[in-house]
Amino acid sequence: MNGRKDQHDPGSQGRTEPTLGDLDHLDTPSPESKWDDGLPRVTLDPDRGRGTSSRPPRRSSRRRGWLIPLLLLLVIGVGTTLWMGQDKLRGLVPSTELGGILGRAEVALQEGRLDGNDGTSARELFEAARALQPDNDRARDGLRKVGLAEIARADAALQAGKLDDADQALAAARELLGGGSDVDRLTQALATARTGPAQTDHLIEQARQAFDAGKLDGDDGAGTLYRRVLGADANNAVAAHGLDKVGDALASQAHKALDAGDRAAASALVDRLAALIPNYGELPALRAALVTEQKQDSNALADALNQAQDAMREGRISGAGEDTALADYKTALAIDPDNADAKAGLGQVAQALITQANAALDSGDQAQARKLLDQAAELAPGSGDLAAAKARLGGTHKASAALPVAGDAEEDVAGPTQHPVLTAQQSTDLARMIQRADSAAQQGNLMLPPGDSAYDLYRGALAIDGNNETARHGLEMLPGLAMNQFNQALASGNLPVAGDRLADFTDLSPGSAGQGVLRQRLANAWLDQAEQQLQQGDRASATQSLDRARKLAPGNPRLATLTARLQAGS
């Protein structure tokens, strides 16, 4: 009985409350029940959920399992595409900041606020926009318009006689436009306005006087003064003719130097002419003549150096005849007075002579030792080894003079190396002199000033006691000290001091093979400085730096490049 009553049953009285029926037999209706709801019968599996079902497992989850890897691959692909195309995507996104800056810049340009330092001028804003987007056309075109506006402002200021304002506007236009016909026109007009007729006449008169006095170039030379006039008035015939006369005079001096065989002087004159008048008509011919002379001199120089080296290897150091190392090195220096190899070769000859002199001293031949040392002194008077050998010769002479003329036994005991007996005053002077020499060496006074240099003080100490080991050791250490101080000065950028230490090293150790390397290092440092000075527009200082480098290493390939830049900048 399911508890359900028919509402049309006559036995029913009033309203009957609904009931759930027999919940225990929902899944198994009794056969007695005559109620049928018309739905299909569903039989529940009593073993469902217990893992013992005899039905096969459902495969819907397996069918959907491949979707997860596919989704992961899709996500990775989309991410990679977005990352690789981020620049394109960024370009598609409108830049509010950039647009705002460009808008303010264009307003500032229309209002005439062209330049300034407060960040609100047209130039500053357009440059800020370019910093955000370097290839932005609006920013680039805006800066060009600012430059043209500066040209107009310079024109107006020049017409109004406000030369400083015109100069300021012209400088800004030159920076923005990079030059041009308008910039050149205003530059010349401004120079003319500043100079004036009276000043032009005064400059021309000064140039004439400088030419008559032989002052052709330089800051106050005739060529420079004529160029100043032409800078203000390019059509000034007097100045143009005067500048041609200066060029002719320099060219004539260069020809005379070539005829005299002085190639170094001729080369310097040609460089001066090129720096003053880059388009001088005779410059190509002069340079060609220099090249020819240089080739001839180079061949002769190479032959002399090779012959000198052969003579050194064969022991033909010095003496009569033209086939000695000394004669060949002198020939090389006659061709090129600044040749580093020839100078080092003479130092090697001097060193060989000093070695022979020490050998003569060892054998007791003082006369031969003195003769050899005198020859070495002509070649390398500042050699530390020479000073030590001379001190040894002097000490030996004093010791020999003090020996008693007695039997052979006494001579054997008091040989030529006997130390002289010093008085108390001599000992005091010796100690004081060595102390002063040590102090001078540490202060960098290696060869100068005369009398108070470390070199002279150590030699003075050896003159008192030629066998004093402290003084001799100090003298022998001077070349190494000079090299150390050279490296320190070069590292700190103090090139003049580095040059002084290089000169000291060359004098103290004339035969050293390291001289060429030191010269090249210093020359390159001067060339680096010249390049920086050219970038800063300091042509006068750059010229001096190039001259220093040329004296140290005339064959350095950078010389020609920087000299050309110097001439182009003129």
Domain positions in the chain are: 95-179, 193-281, 283-381
pLDDT at residue 92 tops 60: no
Query: Would you say 331 and 304 are in contact if contact means Cβ atoms under 8 Å apart?
Result: yes
User: Percent of the chain having pLDDT more than 70?
Assistant: 77
Highest mean pLDDT among 26-40, 44-58, 308-322, 410-424: 308-322
pLDDT at residue 64 tops 70: no
CA distances from 28 to 21, 31, 110 (A): 13, 9, 95
Give the residue, 98 or 104, on which the prediction is more confident: 104
Query: Distance (Å, rounded) from C-alpha 146 to C-alpha 563?
Result: 36
Q: Which tens digits make up the pLDDT trace of 334-343?
A: 877 777 788 8
Q: Which tens digits make up the pLDDT trace of 175-188?
A: 888 778 888 888 87
| CA atoms within 13 Å, Cβ hemisphere of 358 | 11
Highest mean pLDDT among 107-111, 258-262, 403-407: 107-111
- Band (pLDDT 50/70/90 cuts) for residue 403 is very low
- Record the tokens describing residue 347, joined without a space: 């130092």
- pLDDT (0 to 100) of residue 523: 93
Mean pLDDT check: name the lowest of 198-202, 247-251, 459-463: 198-202
Segment 537-559 shows an average pLDDT of 86
What does the mean pLDDT of the chain come to?
78
User: Model's pTM, two decimal places?
Assistant: 0.44
Highest mean pLDDT among 29-38, 70-79, 195-204, 539-548: 539-548
Query: Would you say 393 and 366 are in contact if contact means Cβ atoms under 8 Å apart?
Result: yes
- The CA angle 50-52-56, to the nearest 5 degrees, is 115
Peptide bond just before 449 cis, omega within 30 deg: yes
- Residue 38 DSSP label: S
- Band (pLDDT 50/70/90 cuts) for residue 315 is confident
261: left (phi over 0), alpha (psi -120 to 50) or beta: left
Cα torsion 372, 373, 374, 377: sign: positive
Closest to 490 (Cα-Cα) out of 518, 514, 513, 509:
518
**Sequence-ordered list of residues with C-beta below 8 angstroms from that of 392, at least 6 positions apart, any chain:** 358, 361, 466, 467
pLDDT at residue 409 tops 60: no
Q: Which tens digits make up the pLDDT trace of 101-151?
A: 889 999 999 988 998 888 889 998 998 888 888 888 888 899 999 999 999
Query: Distance (Å, rounded) from C-alpha 388 to C-alpha 400?
Result: 18
Query: Would you say 376 and 353 are in contact if contact means Cβ atoms under 8 Å apart?
Result: yes
3 state SS of 537: coil
Q: Which CATH code for domain 193-281?
A: 1.25.40
Query: Distance (Å, rounded) from C-alpha 250 to C-alpha 544?
Result: 19
- pLDDT (0 to 100) of residue 142: 93
